[in-house]
Structure 1
Amino acid sequence: MTGGIEVGESPKEAIIREAEEEVGLKIKDVTLETTVFLIEKDYFDPMKKFYALELFFVSHLDDDQEPINLEPLKQDFLRWFDPYKLPEPMIPGVGFGIKSYFNNQRYVEFRNV
């Protein structure tokens, strides 16, 4: 899930809003677990670099919610995956952030240029 923080919104408020807008999940409590500073090749223009600070949050769902692809032009499909068996292809920085979380790393840097 990708998205931005809107004016007047905290990162936690943004992730709660984005979860509902992009994948239809209603989450309440989120905890920031891992922060990734990354530099990657821009996916739209490989001659450019993409810089980002990505925040990885954890939330527990109250019920059996399933993600819904509410933005089909941005992603091919959505489903739950075993975090130790992530699908390929995957955006490298996202995979790195998930693996960093499971390695109990709270701040990491990723350069893929």
Structure 2
Amino acid sequence: MSFVVVPASYVYLLRDSARGTEVLLQLRRGTPYMDGHWAAAAAGHVERGETAFAAAQREATEELGITGVDLAFEFTMQRTRGGEPIDERVDFFFTARAWQGEPRIVEPDKAGELRWCEVTDLPEPMVPHEAYALSRLGGTQRYLSHGFDNDLGGQR
């Protein structure tokens, strides 16, 4: 059985504080997917003819109103939910510690709040695969998987 893989890019803005590393998260509101859950402040599908890197830059501008985002590639995650072909995803995760402008909610119909959170103390509920991704930031793995019956927790 063949299926279509849906690619998406995620941007985690990071900053250092007296408490440790913080990540900027958005509360999803008014969306059909994981409404009411905390997620990356900027993320979205990679469009036809676009690289994952370019999609991350575009999403940061569209969703947060920032430019010049100094992206660092973290890892790729292959994920599914229930093993249904429509849910086969490949996600590209980036972090950034430098950008131009002040992050703000540009799409209020999709985001209810932006909040800086300690990476080690995330709000709940979190989008599950994103909580998993945040727990792996800064590691050496460049491939993770999530949601498969034979998942080894990304240890491949």
TM-score computed with the length of structure 1 as normaliser: 0.77
Q: What's the CA shift string for 1:42-78, capped at 9, x where partnerless?
A: xxxxx99632111110222156x44211222222211
Q: Which amino acid aligns with 2:66?
A: L
Residue 85, structure 1, aligned to residue 126, structure 2:
no
Count of residues paired in the alignment: 107
Secondary structure of residue in 2 paired with 1:78:
strand
RMSD: 2.5
Percent identity at matched positions? 31
Identify unmatched segments of 5+ residues in structure 2: 1-41, 150-156
Q: Which amino acid aligns with 1:86?
A: L
User: Which runs of 4 or more aligned residues in structure 1 lie more than 4 Å from their structure 2 counterparts after TM superposition?
Assistant: none
Q: What's the CA shift string for 1:73-105, capped at 9, x where partnerless?
A: 222211221111111111001111111224432
Paired residues of 1:40 and 1:49 also in contact (CA < 8 A): no
1:51 to 79, 88, 95: 88
CA distance in 2, matches of 1:48, 1:11: 21
Paired residues of 2:74 and 2:138 also in contact (CA < 8 A): no
TM-score computed with the length of structure 2 as normaliser: 0.58
CA distance in 1, matches of 2:112, 2:88: 24
CA distance in 1, matches of 2:104, 2:99: 17
Residue 29, structure 1, aligned to residue 66, structure 2:
no
Query: How has the CA–CA distance of structure 1 residues 48 and 62 changed in structure 2, closer, same or farther, with 3 Å as cutoff?
Result: closer
1:112 Cα deviation after fit: 7.1
Identify unmatched segments of 5+ residues in structure 1: 42-46
CA distance in 2, matches of 1:14, 1:48: 23
Residue 17, structure 1, aligned to residue 53, structure 2:
no
Q: Which amino acid aligns with 2:61?
A: E
CA distance in 1, matches of 2:53, 2:99: 18
